[in-house]
Amino acid sequence: MVVFKKPHALSDVPLHYCPGCTHGIVHRLVAEVIDELGIEGKTIGIAPVGCSVMAYNYFECDMIEAAHGRAPAVATGVKRANPDNIVFTYQGDGDLASIGTAETVHSAARNENITVIFINNAIYGMTGGQMAPTSLPGQVTQTSPYGRDVNLCGYPVKICEMLAQLDGPEYLERVTVNNVKQIKNAKRAIKKAFQNQIDGKGFSLIEVISSCPTNWGMTPQAALKWIDEKMIPYYPLGVYKDRSAEKKEDKQ
Amino acid sequence: MERKRNIINSLSLVPEELEQFNFARYEKYAEIERTEARAEEYRMEDAEICVAAFGIASRVSRNAVDAAREMGIKVGLIRPITLWPFPVDPFKRSLSTVKKYISVELNMGQMIEDVRLATECRRPVTLCNRAGGMIPTPEQVLEAIKAAANGGEQ
Ligand SMILES: Cc1ncc(C[n+]2csc(CCOP(=O)(O)OP(=O)(O)O)c2C)c(N)n1
Ligand code: SF4
């Protein structure tokens, strides 16, 4: 009996991610969901610019690599041209919450029927650990060596809270993957975000609080702990919008 | 998945592959440079002074060239129609008669560098320009032509 195997939707190549990076876990969850929903062959992924740019080599489906931050715009075009395909983006916080803020906000406002997987690791990973819009107050990064000074750099952008103000989006949830329980919960959320698209419900975004041990300057274990101690208090987990559930409540 | 998956990207992280890609691109650019450069030459047959101008500046310069010709100054106009590829040939040919070039531009001087490159800096090139949306008058260009003819400004 096979107890554990690689999801079919994940290519059989070595990942380039650093040891202990949670990108790999999230890749696996997305691939498992593609397998379980039986949407391999009709799923199109949009890769970002960032550490996960090479996601196009890892997901065993058709992939397009978008310019930095433009993934939701590319996804919009793909989905509108091919409404029968399942279209997802996979983006970091530098990509989605900084250079791509406009695309993020407007695709949510338009309630595009796409699925967005948003990796919030509070830093620019690929370029060597610069401050991201999501870096925490006081967080030490390459470009904030004395800690993020909110008087100088402002406050972090809370994407789920921000998008929840819009009438457009169907589903917004923040999860993390720093232990088994949370990984299971994250998978449930990601699956729902894909199911929503299959059901034609519209824009679903799952924000995954992730670790970047390399640029946080921590061991993988310490990084997972830092998620609990620092990230989650600032970025509370949970559902920020679920329009279908809201509608059901209205009827009752 | 049954069929081979499609990957659409513009990223090439293998140096051996990227170098070949660059070579292929540059072959294409070279072909464009050979086949697509366009320019209009106006009264250039025996010109000793050449005004280089495109767009609005070229229309102004044409009047100035006509006025200068009436005064007996041997001046012509090369009007690049394509700026890339830059029409190097008409400038190269013009070197047999032209002694001075004037680049007339609606900016702080951008094409002047292309004129220098096209003539391989073998003749002086001066700038006659306005900027910010201002347009030189034919008189201003005529003054520049007269100054060049009188050996001034160099
Ligand atoms: C238009 C453009 N601007 C800047 C860059 C440089 N760049 C590459 S990756 C990156 C940041 C990515 O950070 P994030 O989205 O947080 O992803 P991570 O690497 O942390 O997974 C930047 C700014 C680029 N490639 N393109
Ligand atoms: S730099 Fe950070 S985000 Fe990028 S692969 Fe390494 S640990 Fe992961």
CA atoms within 13 A on the CB side of B9: 23
Q: Is residue B13 part of a domain?
A: no
- DSSP letters for A93-117: HHIIIIITHHHHHHHHHTT-S-EEE
- Residues of A (48-107) whose Cβ lies below 8 Å from B: 53-54, 56-57, 60-65
- Please give the model's pTM, rounded to 2 decimal places: 0.86
Write out the two tokens for A154: 């402002």
Among A3-7, A14-18, B86-90, B99-103, whose mean pLDDT is lowest?
A3-7
First to last CA, chain A: 46
Contact residues, chain A, for B6 at CB < 8 Å: 62-63
CA distances from A76 to A68, A84, A106 (A): 15, 13, 10
Q: Is residue B17 part of a domain?
A: no
DSSP label of A137 = T
Provide the 3-class DSSP secondary structure of residue B80. Answer: strand
Contact of B4 with chain A, judged by CB distance below 8 Å, is answered with no
Contact B1 A41 (CB under 8 A): yes
Nearest CA to ligand 2 atom 6: A18
* Topology (CATH level 3) of domain A23-251: Rossmann fold (3.40.50)
| Alpha-carbon gap, residue A143 to A42, rounded angstroms | 41
Residue B153 scores a pLDDT above 50: no
User: Tens-digit pLDDT profile for chain A (252 aa)?
Assistant: 888 899 999 999 999 999 999 999 999 999 999 999 999 999 999 999 999 999 999 999 999 999 999 999 999 999 999 999 999 999 999 999 999 999 999 999 999 999 999 999 999 999 999 999 999 999 999 999 999 999 999 999 999 999 999 999 999 999 999 999 999 999 999 999 999 999 999 999 999 999 999 999 999 999 999 999 999 999 999 999 999 998 888 877
Contact B9 A60 (CB under 8 A): no
Contact of B35 with chain A, judged by CB distance below 8 Å, is answered with no
Contact of A144 with chain B, judged by CB distance below 8 Å, is answered with no
Do β-strands A171-176 and A238-242 pair in parallel, antiparallel, or remain unpaired? antiparallel
| Alpha-carbon gap, residue A8 to A51, rounded angstroms | 22
User: For residue B99, what is the domain's CATH number?
Assistant: 3.40.50.920
Domain count for chain B, please give it: 1
DSSP bridge pairs for A44? A62, A87
**ipTM value of the model?**
0.86
Contact A63 B6 (CB under 8 A): yes
| Alpha-carbon gap, residue A65 to A55, rounded angstroms | 9
On whether the CB atoms of residues B32 and A88 are closer than 8 A, the answer is no
Mean pLDDT of B66-72: 98
Write out the two tokens for A95: 């990509």
For residue B142, give its domain range.
37-149
- Residues of A (15-44) whose Cβ lies below 8 Å from B: 40-41
For tokens 């433009």, name the residue: A70
Q: Is residue B95 part of a domain?
A: yes
- State whether the beta carbon of A26 lies less than 6 angstroms from ligand 2: no
Q: Is residue B140 part of a domain?
A: yes
pLDDT at B154: 44
Q: Residue B152 — pLDDT band, cuts 50, 70, 90?
A: low
Q: Is residue B62 part of a domain?
A: yes
